[in-house]
């Protein structure tokens, strides 16, 4: 049973898209997203990209109508970019928020399927690269093995019932956004996605996976670094300890958190 929602999540969704030096890929992804049915709005959260990403957004024909910009003063990280975007969505009464990369590694045509999964009752609809075998294009073998190994490692410690616990392509209904912002998610990169899913499962939210095909980025450079990888490696055992010795928040308490969406409670 999922959290109650007064209107369908797909009725007024916001796509939150963190960027850092994405001036090459952003025009293409915005064109694809804005062409989707339903009039999706897009919030670009830019971390002071030196390549002019923010300026590109400001000159877009739909700027201020369907395309919006949250410009931050420095490179503050993926996790905080999404949290700032979630709070922006909550303050403006969007019915759902989506996470998607700005490099077309996530297919915009999968967005309606994610939103339909929310409409069907899920609190989080998570795009999975591994739900129906391996659905990854143009990845080197070492990157694929790293991703598969991260999934096994994460599931073992955290108990997450997901085939793709590090997925960064998802849709979240409004009520669940309030719960997650209040619960406190402090990690970045892969770690942010793992911790977000962990907090959601612990809060009793309904997580459902949707099969997708992931394609390696076509423009620019990957933001994956050793620091991000090691952060996730260290995070997972800590979440495992919380799973063993901490107390999960009951659904009623989690639902109460949505009344104060701007407050982040330490983990």
Which CATH number belongs to the domain containing residue 71 in this structure?
A: 3.90.550.10
Confirm whether 253 is domain-assigned. yes
3-state secondary structure of 173: strand
Confirm whether 1 is domain-assigned. no
Rounded Cα distance between 62 and 219, Å, is 23
Q: What is the reported pTM?
A: 0.86
Rounded Cα distance between 150 and 163, Å, is 11
Question: Which pLDDT tens digit goes with each residue over 205-232?
Answer: 999 999 999 998 665 555 555 566 666 6
Confirm whether 2 is domain-assigned. no
Phi, psi of 171 (to 5 degrees): -125, 140
**206: Cβ contacts below 8 Å, ≥ 6 apart:** 1, 2, 121, 122, 123, 124
Confirm whether 107 is domain-assigned. yes
Domain count, the chain: 1
Question: Which pLDDT tens digit goes with each residue over 77-94?
Answer: 999 999 999 999 999 999
Which pLDDT value is given to residue 83?
Answer: 96
- Nearest Cα neighbor of 242 from 165, 158, 160 is 158
Confirm whether 32 is domain-assigned. yes
Domain that holds residue 251: 9-258
């Amino acid at each position: 049973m999922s959290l109650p929602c007064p209107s369908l999540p797909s009725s007024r969704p916001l796509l939150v898209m963190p960027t850092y030096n994405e001036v090459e890929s952003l025009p293409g992804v915005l064109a694809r997203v804005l062409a989707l049915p339903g009039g999706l709005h897009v919030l670009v959260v830019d971390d002071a990209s030196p390549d002019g990403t923010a300026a590109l957004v400001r000159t877009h024909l739909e700027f201020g109508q369907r395309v919006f910009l949250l410009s931050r003063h420095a490179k503050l990280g993926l996790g905080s970019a999404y949290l700032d975007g979630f709070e922006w969505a909550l303050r403006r009464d969007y019915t759902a928020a989506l996470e998607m990369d700005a490099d077309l590694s996530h297919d915009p045509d999968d967005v309606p399927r994610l939103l339909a999964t929310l409409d069907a009752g899920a609190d989080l609809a998570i795009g999975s690269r591994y739900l129906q075998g391996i659905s990854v294009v143009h990845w080197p073998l070492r990157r694929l093995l790293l991703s598969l190994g991260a999934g096994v490692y994460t599931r073992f410690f955290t108990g997450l019932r997901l085939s793709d616990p590090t997925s960064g392509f998802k849709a979240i209904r409004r009520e669940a956004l309030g719960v997650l912002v209040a619960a406190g998610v402090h990690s970045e990169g892969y770690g942010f996605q793992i911790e977000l899913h962990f907090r959601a499962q612990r809060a009793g939210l309904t997580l459902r996976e949707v099969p997708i095909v992931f394609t390696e980025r076509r423009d620019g450079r990957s933001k994956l670094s050793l620091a991000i990888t090691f952060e996730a490696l260290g995070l997972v055992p800590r979440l495992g300890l919380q799973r063993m010795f901490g107390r999960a928040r009951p659904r009623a308490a989690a639902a109460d958190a949505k009344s104060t969406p701007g407050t982040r409670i330490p983990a």
